[in-house]
Amino acid sequence: MSEQITAVEKNGWINRALNTIEVVGNKLPDPAVLFALLMVIVWVLSWLLSGVSFDELNPRTGEAIQIVNLLSGDALTNFASNIVNTFVTFPPLGVVLVAMLGLGVAEYTGFINAGLRSILSVTPKMLLTPVLIAVGILSHVAVDAGYVLVVPLGAVIFYAAGRHPLAGIAAAFAGVSGGFSATFFVPSSLDPLLAGLTQASAQILDPTVTVNPLNNYFFTTASTFLIVAIGWFLTDKVIEPRLKGTKVDGDTSQMVTMEALKPNELRGLKAAAISMLAVIGLLALSIVLPENTPWAAKPEDVLPGVNPLLTAAAPLMKSIVTIIFVFFLVPGIVYGYVSGSVKSHRDVVAGMSHAMSGMGYYIVMAFFCALFLYAFSQSNLGVLMALKGANALKEMGLPLGMTLVGIVFLSGFVNLVVGSASAKWALIGAIMVPMLMELGLSPDLTQAAYRVGDSSTNIITPLLPYFPLIVVFCQKYVKNSGIGTLVALMLPFSIVMLVMWTAFLLGFWALDIPLGIDSSYQYLPGR
């Protein structure tokens, strides 16, 4: 079988196609530079089209669309004077940085590591695959921790259980990366990040639109069970049987058994769990006990039939990022002191600093992304493209269901050449969200369609930053593993997820099952 895998890697059409995608993708500019180039393109287009008359009416004013020339003196000086404010008020920026401060402490002290190892160590053998995939999905709360922790542990525990380690890598990778937009009850930092970008895109067309950070929460939580079921079936019935003839010829002397939790780690984990329950209890009491809880929105800010605690205007919803911060900061600190990984407050600050040191590239990308979206919005090009795109779709007469499917597959294709989930959504969302609002589809539904396509193809693109790392994990067990090996392992997951998850979304839509908190399927102006 090793020879067969090598043949697929060298000569298979899948590998040849992916090599082409990799070459094309490597020729694209860095996302930060790409946003800068797009901003320049917007400037030039605004200058060229500023004197053109269009028949489309601006939905904000009811007047004919007029493109604003961003290269005029007034526009350029206004742009220059607002650069700082445009950057610091960019919705996803603060969301990501604040959430990462708390998550960084939890990861730095070892709390997340110990928690995931604890869950996997007590799993019955027959439930090994589904629990591993579920833990991979759960690891999303720590952003990228699953890639460097859950995936290699998947190989270790599968090999220790007498199963093929590459099957463990495949199952873990499917949960961590293929199910990236699924959430196992606990919201991840991706939820408010994408919601912030969705809101920024929607406000190109309607400045009054607000998007709840948990607008896809019900759908992504339900998706967990779908992803686990797909991953469980494919791992046990397709991937593992295929690997029976593949010899494990790597150095496994140090990887036969998973490292058990030490006594100090167990004490720290118990104390951290108690602190987490205490945080949840205090939050619940502050919501339930006061007759007029300060977490609820004011009556004038609540739409009819909407729970005042769950509307986007509610302080509770506006504090989701703060809650995530505290929810991981407190147990992270408690675990650190009890287990001994933290000696003083300086270690806690070091954990935050360590987390921020890895955010430098994101901050650079966010700077140019914010400026691009600002220019795109000010030029009216977004409104014009949305109206023209909506008119074209209406003339084609495609069912809305086919339109949603198109968004899913477009997102999946773009994911093959642009790795960052937020970068892709900033690019696609600025066009797709306003356009589909014109067709009557809500930003919540458009965002859900994007998340399905984006996640499903994560596991087959060599441009994923962690893809080479997963290949290295494979090589620890099967020496001649390469890109083709990993693609051959993950392609069945990608195809089945793309088809089944899309059908799952269409089912939610057809049955009018709520996508999340304060969400809708139809675009309602001013909501």
pLDDT tens-place string over residues 291-340: 788 998 888 776 555 578 866 678 887 887 788 889 889 999 999 999 99
Instruction: Provide the pLDDT confidence category of residue 4 given band limits of 50, 70 and 90.
Output: very low
Percentage above 90 pLDDT, the chain: 30
Residue 201 has pLDDT above 70, yes or no: yes
Of 52-56, 59-63, 449-453, 464-468, give the lowest mean pLDDT range.
59-63
Q: pLDDT band for position 138 (50/70/90)?
A: confident
Say whether 230 sits in a helix, a strand or coil. helix
Q: pLDDT tens digit string along 353-371?
A: 988 887 787 788 789 888 9
Task: Report the pLDDT averaged over residues 83-108.
Answer: 85
Asked if pLDDT for residue 15 goes beyond 50, the answer is no
User: pTM (2 decimals)?
Assistant: 0.66
pLDDT (mean) for 38-44? 92
Give the pLDDT score at 444: 93
In the prediction, which pLDDT does 503 show?
A: 96
What's the confidence (pLDDT) of residue 162?
77
**Predicted pLDDT at 123:** 72
Residue 438's φ and ψ, nearest 5 degrees, are: -65, -25
Burial group, residue 118, by CB count within 10 angstroms (0-12, 13-18, 19+):
middle
Nearest to 421 by CA among 462, 460, 455: 455
Give the CA distances from residue 137 to residues 183, 198, 325, 342, in Å, rounded to whole numbers and listed in that order. 6, 23, 19, 28
431 falls in which pLDDT band (50, 70, 90)? confident
Of 206 and 233, the structure prediction assigns the larger pLDDT to: 233
**Contact between 470 and 151 (Cβ < 8 Å):** yes
- Per-residue pLDDT band at 186 (split at 50, 70, 90): low
Give 219 or 90, the one with higher predicted confidence: 219
The single residue listed with the structure tokens 């952003």 is 143
Single out the residue of 27, 30, 26, 35 nearest to residue 366, CA to CA.
35
Instruction: Please provide residue 343's backbone torsions phi and psi, each rounded to the nearest 5 degrees.
Output: -100, -30
Lowest mean pLDDT among 127-131, 309-313, 489-493: 309-313
Q: Which of 172, 161, 164 is nearest to 1 (CA)?
A: 164
List Cα–Cα distances, 199 to 61, 161, 187, 191, 444, in angstroms.
20, 47, 18, 12, 9
* Amino acid at the residue 95: V
pLDDT at 465 over 70: no
- DSSP letters, 381-430, are HHHHHHHHHHHHHHHHT--HHHHHHHHHHHHHHHHTT---HHHHHHHHHH
Q: Compute the distance between CA of residue 330 and CA of residue 19 in angstroms, rounded to an integer.
A: 45
Highest mean pLDDT among 1-5, 9-13, 120-124, 127-131: 127-131
Mean pLDDT of the chain: 81
- Pick from 123, 232, 138, 149: nearest CA to 186: 138
Q: Pick the residue with more confidence: 271 or 213?
A: 271
Q: Do 429 and 450 touch, CB atoms closer than 8 A?
A: yes
* Type of residue numbered 56: E
Which range has the top average pLDDT, 26-35, 50-59, 75-84, 193-202? 75-84
Token pair 């709390």 is at which residue? 111
% of the chain at pLDDT higher than 70:
83
69-83, 84-98, 349-363, 373-387: which has the minimum mean pLDDT?
A: 373-387
